[in-house]
């Protein structure tokens, strides 16, 4: 047909990979292994549990904010 062509340098990080199923049909999958190489590393890694426990020692009140549930509520 001619509409699928091999490329040397893809503009996309995650490649589409055809996988043969047990019944002989082809399943289209996405190979996400190279995406970690393209993603920038976090300059501010999360602190370990020991650091968090030491930082909260001596206080009587601890408050946590669930940013995931309230993400769409922030204006």
Residue 3 lies in a domain: no
Per the domain annotation, does 4 fall within a domain? no
Distances (CA, A) of 52 to 42, 45, 55, 68, 70: 19, 13, 5, 20, 23
Is residue 47 domain-resident? yes
pLDDT-derived band at 18 (thresholds 50, 70, 90) equals: very high
Residue 62 maps to a domain: yes
Range of the domain at 48: 15-73
**Count: domains in the chain:** 1
Cα dihedral 62, 63, 68, 69 sign: positive
Indicate whether 9 belongs to any domain: no
Mind listing the pLDDT tens digit for each residue in 27-46?
Answer: 999 988 887 777 777 777 88
* pLDDT value at 11 more than 70: no
Q: Return the percentage of the chain with pLDDT > 90, whole number.
A: 17
What lies within 8 Å, CB to CB, of 26 at 6+ separation is 18, 19, 20
pTM score: 0.37
Report the 10 Å Cβ neighbour count for 35: 12
């Amino acid at each position: 047909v001619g509409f699928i062509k091999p490329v040397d340098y893809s503009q996309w990080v995650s490649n589409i990979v055809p996988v043969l199923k047990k019944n002989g049909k082809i399943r289209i999958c996405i190979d996400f292994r190279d995406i970690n190489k393209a993603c920038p590393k976090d300059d501010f890694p999360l602190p370990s549990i020991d650091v968090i426990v030491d930082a909260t020692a001596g206080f009587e009140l601890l408050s946590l904010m669930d940013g995931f549930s309230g993400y769409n509520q922030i204006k």
